[in-house]
Amino acid sequence: MSLFGIIASIIDGVLVGSVYGLAAMGLTLIWGVMDVVNLTHGSMIVAGMFALYLLTSVLGITPYATLLPVLVGGFLVGLALYWIAVHRMIGRAPLMSLLSTFSVNLVLIGLGTAVWGTVLFNVPVSFPGVTWQRYTFPGTHLLAAALTAVIAACLYVFLYRTRLGKAIRAVAGNRQAAELMGIPTTRVLALAFALGVALAGVSGMLIATLFPFTLLSGDAYQLKSFVVIVLGGLGNPTGALLGGIALGLLEGLVTPFIPVSWTLVIEFALFVTVLIAFPRGVFALRRS
C-alpha cells in the first residue's frame, strides 16, 4: 500500500473517529456529573440507528433531517431512563447503578431482538464525496464529522456559556456545594443524563449513515466509547472528542495492515493498558 493510501486511511479514520468521540461525550458527561456509568449507552446508540432506519424507510424523511427528532427523542428517553433506573441509585454503591442500567440495557436489547431479530440493516445515504489523488473520501463521512463538530461546539457553548450549563458543571464539581448555592441538583442530574443519552442517540444515527448495523452493534460501539473516554479522561467531554479522534486515527492506521476482525482485540488491549497506565486519561487536562 502506498503512503498516500495510508494517509487517506488515517484521514478517513479521523473522520469516523470524531463520531465515536461524540458518542463518548454522552457517556463521559453522565459519568462526570453523577458518577454513573450508563450501561444503556450501547442500546441508546442502537436506538439512534434504528430511529434513522424507521424515520427514513417508513416515514420517508431525508436522512439528515432526522437529526433533530433523534436529538429530541433521545432527550425524552433519557429523562425517562433517569427517573426509572438512575435516580434511586444516586448516592448508593456504584455497583447498584451499574446493575440498574445494565438491566435496562438487557430489557431494551431483548425487546429489540424479539421485534427485529439480529439481521443486518443498511440505510442508503448518498452524498457527494471529495476526491484526492486516487482516493475518494465518502461524503457521508465528511458530513458526519462536520455535524459532529457543530454538535460538539454547541455542547461547549451550552456547558461554558449558559446558566444551565454552568449549573451542570457546578454539580459535577461538587454536588453538595452546588445544592447549597441553590442549584436544584436533581433536575440538573436528570438534564445531564438526558443530554448524555441524546448525544448517544445522535451519534448512533450518524454511525448508521456510515455503516450497516444490527441490533447487537451497540456492544462494539459501547466498547469504543469506553476506550475513547479512558483515552480522554473520565468526565471530560473535550478529552472525549480528542480521544475519539485518536481512536479513529489508530483504526485508520491499522486497517490497511491488520484484518478487521482483530480491531476489537487491539482496542480492548489499548483500553486495559490505558486504564492501568493512565488512570486519569491520556488527554486529561490538569485539573485540581
Partner 1 sequence: MLRRPFFWVIALVVAVFAAAPAIGNNVELRESLVLATVYITLATNLNVVLGYAGYVNFGSIVFFGLGGYLCVYLMGAPAWPLPVALFAAGAAVSLLALVFGLGILRLRGAYFALATIGVNEGVEAFVENFTPFGGSSGLYLPVTMFKPLGGPMAALWIVYFLLVAIMGASLYLSYAVKRSKFGLGLLAIGQNEDAAQVLGVPTRRYKALAYSLTAFLPALAGGLYFFKSAFIQPSDAFDLTFSTEAIVIIMLGGQGTVTGPALGAYLYEELRGWLLTSDTFSNFQLVIAGSLLLIIVLFLPGGLMGWLYGRWPRLRSLLE
Return residues touching partner 1 (CB under 8 A).
31, 35, 37, 84-85, 88-89, 92-96, 98-100, 102-107, 109-111, 113-114, 219-220, 223, 226, 259, 261-262, 264-265, 268-269, 271-272, 275-276, 279
Taking only Cα atoms into account, the Rg of the chain, rounded to an integer number of angstroms, comes to 19
Answer for the pair 144, 16: CB distance below 8 angstroms, yes or no: yes
Residue number, 71 or 223, with CB nearest to partner 1: 223
Q: What minimum distance in Å lies between the beta carbon of 279 and partner 1?
A: 7
For residue 226, the one-letter residue type is: F
Q: Nearest Cα to 272, choosing from 217, 244, 239, 230?
A: 230
Residues forming a β-bridge with 136:
131
Q: What one-character-per-residue DSSP string does 70-121 give?
A: HHHHHHHHHHHHIIIIIGGGTTS-HHHHHHHHHHHHHHHHHHHHHHHTT--B
Shortest Å distance, C-beta 268 to partner 1: 3
State in angstroms the smallest separation of the CB of 30 from partner 1: 12
Q: Which residues pair with 131 in a beta bridge?
A: 136
Shortest Cβ 21–partner 1 spacing (Å): 18
Question: Cell for 140?
Answer: 457521508
Residue 155 C-beta: closest distance to partner 1, Å = 23
- How many angstroms separate the CA atoms of 125 and 24, rounded? 24
Diameter of the chain by CA atoms?
61
* Least distance between partner 1 and beta carbon 261 (Å): 5
Cβ proximity to partner 1, 3 vs 93, nearer residue: 93
DSSP, residue by residue, 152-174: HHHHHHHHHHSHHHHHHHHHHH-
Closer of 124 and 259 to partner 1 (Cβ) = 259
